[in-house]
Each structure stands twice: as structure tokens, then as C-alpha cells.
Amino acid sequence: MMLPDTLSERVAVLGASANPERYAYKAIQLLLDYGHQVFPVSLKGDSVLGQDGYQSILDIACPIDTVTMYISSEKSDLLKEALLRCRPKRVIFNPGAENPALVNTLRDAGIVCQDACTLVLLKTHQWTVVK
């Protein structure tokens, strides 16, 4: 289902879940459908949809283009240093994961931040590759 004009990115999904009812699972599925390389990150480090899972974003050996967040602000506050060390090009804060203080910190470090829904960005062809 990959669109011809879609460029592949390396995307870490924080708060990944193997539960098909969870939005993080649906995001992983749609990201894969659109040809992106997906890295599920969760406390358990479970694999999702055949993608190796990680317990920390810092365990991922390659550079990450986009991080999409499916965790609360309380949990994402604890990941500030890891996100700064990882240096993704963009972080998407999905509904329920908004964290204005973390957004300010990441933007100050030159990281693009969006309050948006990954599923909507993909389905409406608004997903843009961050350079």
C-alpha cells in the first residue's frame, strides 16, 4: 500500500503495544503499510507485527528520523535525556501524549515537534519526511 511519493523513514514508536485495539499498534501497522522502518519501544521491549522491540530508544542502533509518542506526559518527562541523546529529526505527540514543557526542550535542541495524530497524518497524506 506504499504510496509512490512516500519516502521511507526510520520511526520509533514510544509506548508500542502488541494489542491490536491500541492506537500505537494501529500506528505501527499503518507505518509499515506505508513503507516505513518501525522500531517499537516499550517497557517490556516486546516485538510488534514482526518488528523487533526495544526497551529504550537508545537501544536502537541506527539513527531515528521520527519518534511518535503514545505515552503520557509523566512518562515522556522521564525520557527527555534519552530523546536528546537520540536526536531524532522530529517528535510527534499524539492525542493524550501532549507535553508542552518537553516540546520546548526538544525545540530548543533543534528537534521538530508536532502535536498531531500519526494515523491522520498518514491517512490524509500529510506525513512529510523531515530533512
pLDDT tens figures, 96-112: 999 999 999 999 999 99
DSSP readout, 7-45? PP-EEEEET--S-TTSHHHHHHHHHHHTT-EEEEE-SS-
Q: What are phi and psi of 127, to 5 degrees?
A: -70, 120
- The CB density around residue 111, as the number of other CB atoms within 10 Å, is 19
**Domain spans in the chain, listed from the N-terminal domain onward:** 10-123
64/9 Cα distance (integer angstroms): 8
Nearest to 58 by CA among 75, 73, 37, 80: 80
- Label residue 32 by pLDDT band (50, 70, 90): very high
For the entire predicted model, the pTM comes to 0.91
DSSP character at residue 49 = T
Q: What is the pLDDT of residues 34-66, one digit of tens each?
A: 999 999 999 999 999 999 999 999 999 999 999
* Domain 10-123 sits in CATH 2.40.10.480: no
Please, are residues 65 and 52 in contact by the beta-carbon 8 Å criterion?
Answer: no
